[in-house]
Structure 1
Amino acid sequence: MSIGRWFKNIRFIYKLIVGYVIFAMLPMIIITGYNSQKTKNILLEESYRNMRQSMGQIGQNLDSSLEAYGTVIDILYTNQMFNGYLVKDYTNSDYWDMFSYIDNLLSSIMLVESNIAGISIYSSNTTLPSDNYYFFGEKGLDQEWLKAAVTSKGNPQVAGVITKGKKNYIAVERLLNYYHYSDVRNILLLRIDGSSFNEQMEITNSSQEIYWVNSQGKIMAASDKDTVGMGMESISEDWEDIPGEGKGAELEINGVTKVCTARKSLYGTRLIMMENQESLVEATRKVAREIITIFLISSAAMFLAIYFYSRWISGRVDKVVYAAKKLGDGQFDYLLKDMGKDEIGMIASAINTLNTEIQLLIAENYEKKLKIKSSEMNLLQEQINPHFLYNALSVISSMAMQEGGKKTMMSVRYLANFYRISLNKGKQVVSVQEEVELLQNYMKIQMLRFEDTVEISYEVDRKALAFRTIKLLLQPLVENAIHHGRKDEEQVLHIRVTAALTKDRLIFEVKDDGLGIEAEKLILLKKELKNSEEGYGLKNVDIRVKLNYGEQYGVRIDSTYGAGTCVRVEIPQVFS
């Protein structure tokens, strides 16, 4: 069973309740869900905005610090004497002047920049003495750091974290390739106190995390100090997919959804900030819970109200339905009381009025109309027989005067056959075959009178013979054709009688080639089949057909003056 059919068949009270659920509760549920999602999106966007602002401030401070150390690196990077000492061949030379110069230079720098814990040079110059304080062999540098310095082509890089004891240092390196003295390769490395960077990572929101990551994905500083020196992949394998430039992403980290955003920083580093989404949606959930609670309470109250209201409405409708069933069962004495003046009350009042009127119609009109109809039918039937009997007896009387009695005997026999079929034990309905036989007996009498001046032919569909029709349908039409169609006493009148079946009708036609009907008179006949001697038979047939079968059936007449007339009678196909 389809939903539509089920809904049509359920009781009215349940229709009201279902309608309330669909048109009231469902929109509220949708609105609640939409508001929750909208609030979540607003809070998420607000979180991104706050994160970007916080990260922007931290990034500016971080870049300022890096720029200060970058200035130190630039000074050493462009110092010609400093670079000259580093590439010099000390195989046969004294290096005390070099050491004195570089020691004074680097000491003064570290004195000014107190966060620089050490400055080292890793050199491929094998003649340069390694003191393991300032000077180290190139092989002493971490190979990943060496590779990063070389591939950066002279740009500063944050290499990684150096841990000594419980203290962390940030290593910033640069390939000293400003002067190309020889094939000697020197890498400058600043060891900076990591606590200054970690202090900049401190944030007040406990649900947020921030990481400063170098180009190799190592954590240089973070709000969580325990993660310093670790790879960022230990926090999230998808950390590289976090977009920057004001955008954000949601990542699943250890079963917890976090909103993340990133910002580029100096020397190939990135700032990454994360916030637990649970803290963002908690406010949304709280509001949603409050809305749902209010919604459920109000829905329950409204449901009870609509239930009792529906019962009241349904009860009134049930009374009207019960009254309608009583009306359908023919019990017209059941009346509805105290139904009000609204639409339901108006329907109840209409049913009461209908019951009362039906009772009056039954009491006053029904039997009366049946009697009138029966009287009309009998009267119309009786009008035909005396009319024809008068003409038939006139014929018999004339012939009896002219000859000795043979034709008189035949006329009387034909007349007897005619009345045998016509009377038909008082029945008003005969078969088409009997109706045609009735007409044939009538025409035998007429042929005795008119002899060769009237010729009649029959075209009757054999399938139509078994159908039923009211009797004396064709005879008045043929009599009318003979009476009004003959042009003179000598000219032959041809009459053709047909009976045929269409889709749902039985059609009789009586067509002659006689005098025809004048145009003005034809208009009057078509308009009202005027009650006159000329139209007597046509009107009689038309009235009987309409009384028996309905107004959509009856007599149709078509005529051309001087060429003949065609009378068509349509009735329904009836077997019994």
Structure 2
Amino acid sequence: MAALGKGRTQLRSSITYKWLLLLVAITLIPLLVLGAVSYSITKNAIDKKVTDASKQLIRQTAENIDIRFSGYKDIVMQMITNPEIMSLLHRISQRDEPSAEHISLTSKLAYFTAVSPEFKSVSFVTDSMYIKGIFRWDDQAELKSEFYTKTMAAGNDFVWFPTRRGYYSDTADSHEEVVFSVSKQVFNIHDGRQLGMAVVLDIREEMLSEILRNNADGDLRTESFVIDQNGYILSHGDKGMLLTPVENWFEAEEASILISGGKEDSFVAHYKGKEVMVNYQQLKTNNWRVVHVIERSSLYKDSDQVIQVIAILMAVCALFSIIAAYAMANSVSSPLKRMVKAMKQVHIGNLSTRIKRDDKRIDEIGSLEYHFNDMVGRIEELVQAVYQEQNNKRIAEVKALEAQINPHFLYNTLDAIKWTALFQKANNAAEMARLLSRLLHISIGKGRDTVLVQEELEHVECYMGIQNLRATGRIEMVYDIEEEVKLYRIPKVILQPIVENAVLHGFADRHEGAVIRIGCRSTEGRLLFSIEDNGHGFESDLADSFSHQIEDMPKSATFLGVGLSNVEERIKLICGEEYGLSIDSKIGEGTRVIITLPVMKEESSHV
């Protein structure tokens, strides 16, 4: 997970990723803004246009219904002002049983109703009897009473009764029909007296459905219907919705607007679970209302097409932007990645690294690659020159130090041989010469800077053999050397100067009990030599001064000898600055020198 998170972070920080984001953003944001603005403008324009068209349509529908209703009222007036019809009604009302006048009345009324198939029946009712017109009602007496009571209470006005399921019968059959009705009180045409009679014209609901269908907009998903003042649906293309309250199809607040709102209005509502635009118009003939609903999703077909075109354009532009951005970013990021990789190699010390570049590329990237290669080449040359110079300097310093040590020791040794030859037999002089020859052979070596530990110990033994021959064996040597370290390599001639310093300074004026102990062990990747003597010792601050900075030692410490300084410098030159000598000495107790060296086996020794 950590590696995955790191990879994502590197991707987001890459130039290619940033180029892609930039170009895609530059391309898509204007298109998104354009699409949003276009959609908003188109939507508002469509809303306004459709609202205006719907209002015009609903007004036309209401006007057509009002015209048709006015025609029905005219038919009613023609019937109740016709002298023959009124005469027949008068005679029928005087009798309790059906008579020939009923047949005559039906014939007369058929003249008026035959002109329009939407008429279902004409009936005349009084407070005591029901007079058949065309079909006879099979409804209960309560319904007949309601028609009579409301019509008589309206005086000279027409009364409109909402849609109902009417039950009719004649001599042939009985059947059901969905109708609505208009009624009018009958007056004497000569003196205006009330005759205590009402005429009821039953009209098929299909008439209203036909008007609503003829005024529908075929391009949109719309529905039109008529409701009464109580909110019941009087006419609808879906017959299953007839006689149901609008609360069943609209939310309560929206249904309330349809029922008790102004004479006309437009608003957005939810009809059958869908968002619709609603327009309604109240009829002039009565207080019924024509309602027109338009499903809003159908309004935006054109704007949806615009959005689809914009979406396709955005997809094409996005694809093009990604390809172009990747190509452009890759032309920049690829050489930069190669350069970063090369820089990392240079950082870890691989100065032979070069960037593979296209010579035909002459832009800033090409120039950067060329100058990078040139710079690394120059650095490599300078490093090689400095390395060669430092190597030559190191070799010269080592050679100078060895030349400084060897003549100094050779002078002292030859001086000892001279005095020994004077006071002793020639056999001792010969042995000293042999030891001196071996000592010089080991110290000079084969031109290498390092020797085996066992060779360095032999060098010390040769030196001490010479010293003991000269001083009659008065200094005891004790060795504590781990076997495995004897085959390690160390800088040559580093133990003898320390031992020499102990002989010359630690045991000056001392003739008995002198002991020098040399120990060596390997620990934690380091080689530690310990050279201890029980000589005179010296002040501890002089030892500290030597451990910190040899060249700053006070003049009183010159007895430590030039040999120790040379040993310290050669160790640091050959092995590194972290290696060298440390001295611990106390007056009257002796001196202890610790040499810290790296473990150098035969195959990894310095030359």
Structure 1-normalised TM-score? 0.56
SS in 2 for 1:442: helix
Matching residue of 1:289? 309
Residue pairs, 1:233-244, within 5 angstroms: none
String of CA shifts for 1:107-154, please: whole Å, max 9, x gaps.
Answer: 436876733158999xxxxxxxxx989xxxxxx9xxxxxxxxxxxxxx
Matching residue of 2:177? 164
- Contact kept? 2:456, 2:493, Cα under 8 Å: yes
> Does residue 1:380 correspond to 2:401, yes or no?
yes
Deviation of 1:505 (Å): 2.6
- How far apart in 1 are the matches of 2:298 and 2:33? 19
Distance 1:539 1:356, change over 3 A: same
Residue pairs, 1:255-294, within 5 angstroms: 259=275, 275=295, 277=297, 279-280=299-300, 283=303, 286-287=306-307, 289-290=309-310, 293=313
Pick the aligned partner of 2:571 from 545, 551, 560: 545
Deviation of 1:102 (Å): 6.2
- Contact kept? 2:162, 2:234, Cα under 8 Å: no
Distance 1:20 1:548, change over 3 A: same
Matching residue of 2:598? 572
Deviation of 1:551 (Å): 2.8
Matching residue of 1:21? 20
Pick the aligned partner of 1:226 from 209, 228, 237: 237
- How far apart in 2 are the matches of 1:242 and 1:516? 114
Distance 1:193 1:330, change over 3 A: closer
String of CA shifts for 1:399-432, please: whole Å, max 9, x gaps.
Answer: 3333334544443343343334334334332222
- Contact kept? 2:15, 2:329, Cα under 8 Å: no
String of CA shifts for 1:148-197, please: whole Å, max 9, x gaps.
Answer: xxxxxxxxxxxxxx9726x579xxxxxxxxxxxxxxxxxxxx99979889
- Contact kept? 2:497, 2:567, Cα under 8 Å: yes
Matching residue of 2:124? none
- How far apart in 2 are the matches of 1:569 and 1:193? 122
String of CA shifts for 1:282-329, please: whole Å, max 9, x gaps.
Answer: 52551463375378459758966985797589789989999999x955
Matching residue of 1:63? none
- Contact kept? 1:115, 1:192, Cα under 8 Å: no
SS in 2 for 1:508: strand
Residue pairs, 1:307-456, within 5 angstroms: 307=327, 311=331, 328-329=351-352, 348-349=370-371, 352=374, 355-356=377-378, 369-450=390-471, 454-456=475-477
Pick the aligned partner of 2:479 from 458, 478, 482: 458
SS in 1 for 2:480: strand
Distance 1:120 1:520, change over 3 A: closer
Pick the aligned partner of 1:105 from 133, 149, 161: 149
Distance 1:286 1:51, change over 3 A: closer
Structure 2 unmatched ranges of 5 or more: 59-126, 130-140, 182-201, 255-267, 279-290
Deviation of 1:279 (Å): 4.6
Distance 1:101 1:377, change over 3 A: closer
Deviation of 1:31 (Å): 8.7
- How far apart in 1 are the matches of 2:271 and 2:35? 18
Matching residue of 2:194? none
Distance 1:339 1:44, change over 3 A: closer
Matching residue of 2:581? 555
- How far apart in 2 are the matches of 1:447 and 1:192? 150
Distance 1:521 1:273, change over 3 A: farther
Matching residue of 1:156? none
> Does residue 1:469 correspond to 2:490, yes or no?
yes
SS in 2 for 1:552: coil
Structure 1 unmatched ranges of 5 or more: 10-14, 59-94, 122-130, 134-139, 141-161, 170-189, 233-238, 253-257, 263-270
Matching residue of 2:161? 116
Distance 1:241 1:456, change over 3 A: farther
Deviation of 1:476 (Å): 1.5
- How far apart in 1 are the matches of 2:585 and 2:305? 91
User: Which amino acid counterpart does residue 402 of structure 2 have in structure 1?
Assistant: Q
- How far apart in 1 are the matches of 2:145 and 2:7? 101
> Does residue 1:508 correspond to 2:529, yes or no?
yes
- How far apart in 1 are the matches of 2:534 and 2:234? 122
Residue pairs, 1:132-171, within 5 angstroms: 164=177
Deviation of 1:379 (Å): 2.0
User: Which amino acid counterpart does residue 522 of structure 1 have in structure 2?
Assistant: A
Pick the structure with greater CA Rg.
2
- Contact kept? 2:19, 2:329, Cα under 8 Å: no
Distance 1:451 1:20, change over 3 A: same
- Contact kept? 2:332, 2:365, Cα under 8 Å: no
